[in-house]
Amino acid sequence: MSAPALELRHPDERTAAKRTPEEQRAHEAREVAQHYEHHPEIFSLVLDSRLAYSTGVFASPDEDLETGQARKFARVAAKLNIQPGEKVLDVGCGWGSLLLYLAQHTQGYFHGITLSGKQREVALQRAKDWGVADRVRVDLTHVEELAPAPESYDVVLFSGSIVHMHNREAIHQLVARTLKPGGRLFISDCYFPEVPRGDRDSSATRYIFVTAMGYCRLLSLSEELGLIGRAGLDVLHVEDLSSSYVQTLGHWIDNVRKNRDRIEELAPGFARVLQGYMTVAKLSFARRTALEYMLLATKGAPKVHVAGWPIPGDAR
């Protein structure tokens, strides 16, 4: 029996579905990169010191951005449990926030890919500055172009990046092929609720998906989990971070406000785009018309043991 086709929820997804995979890849490479090709100083004024461009993990409402992002890095590192010599592919590595944190805290080998030349430059410079350049490589390519060899990586990461990729079934098949036995897939990204809630075809949705970010395709969680499962991987752990994203976006928006003049100097009009899309996103996560999840899956027998993770609760 063939798998159910993914729902096409927006005019832009219907247009994407008419393109060949090569055409869509070129579209994503061109449109998505534009956002990230803005001057890195802009993002350094808005994000945390490692330049994480996805949600942090907040334990209380008064925590600052740095604390929330540090907790996220530590939590992801614990989830992945990277062993010396293991090979990690970070798809959409951005300016290297998670990639370089993991390089500094493990003895693995790290391969980041991005569609933005500016992000690659920053990531490589930081790898040098932080003394991990010998175990970090960053290439400018789309994951579908990379075509990694079968069973060549122990871990594949998508932190706030898989949402930019239309051909999700092909991506998951590729990831499942490229993981070694015991390999882990990690995703941190946003999803639509299973039942439509709010207006998914509004001008606000289009603003965030197209005007601000170039191309985005939000699936429902069950669609993504289904694709992961059908590719032959087993889901190990799913964690909701929607309320943490509300807090993260609140910090980012405040930083845009504080640095509006400098951002305007570097890229006229971009402060407005940032604040606009971040406000739409914050309202969406607060109202749960969009949901943020961290997903962990394994290829075959897991090398990480989720039952032992410390979540308070007695077995009495």
Among 59, 203, 305, 312, binds another protein (CB under 8 A): 203
- Rounded Cα distance between 151 and 37, Å, is 32
- The residue among 6, 4, 32 whose CA lies nearest residue 167 is 6
| 108 φ/ψ angles, rounded to the nearest 5 degrees | -80, 175
Write down the least CB distance from residue 274 to another protein, Å: 10
Any idea which residue has 């980041």 for tokens?
112
In this structure, which long-range contacts are made by residues 76-79, counting pairs with CB atoms below 8 Å and at least 24 apart in sequence? 76/102, 76/159, 76/186, 76/188, 76/294, 77/101, 77/102, 77/105, 77/106, 78/309, 79/184, 79/186, 79/237, 79/294, 79/296, 79/304
d(CA 259, CA 272): 12
Stretch that binds another protein, among 24-32, 106-114, 235-243, 273-281 (CB under 8 A): 273-281
Candidate segments 103-111, 175-183, 197-205, 305-313, binder of another protein by CB under 8 A? 197-205
Query: Considering beta carbons, is residue 97 or 284 the nearer one to another protein?
Result: 284
Name the minimum Å distance from CB 202 to another protein: 6
- Cα three-residue angle 54-38-122, rounded to 5 degrees: 70
| Cβ nearer to another protein, comparing 187 with 274 | 274
Distance CA 92, CA 128 (A): 20
Q: Pick the stretch among 130-138, 177-185, 196-204, 221-229 that binds another protein (CB under 8 A).
A: 196-204
The site for another protein, by CB under 8 A, has a size of: 13
CA distance linking residue 232 with residue 177, whole number of Å = 9
Q: Alpha-carbon dihedral of residues 72, 35, 108, 173, nearest 10 degrees?
A: 100
Q: Does 283 bind another protein (CB under 8 A)?
A: yes
Give yes or no for residue 210 binding another protein (CB under 8 A): no
Residue from the set 202, 234, 262, 309 that interacts with another protein by CB under 8 A: 202
* Closer residue to another protein in complex, CB, 228/290: 290
Is residue 207 a contact residue for another protein (CB under 8 A)?
A: yes
Q: Pick the binder of another protein from 182, 193, 232, 276 (CB under 8 A).
A: 276
| Binding track over 126-145 against another protein, x by CB under 8 A | --------------------
Any idea which residue has 């959409």 for tokens? 92
- Binding region for another protein (CB under 8 A): 202-204, 207, 257, 260, 272, 275-276, 279-280, 282-283
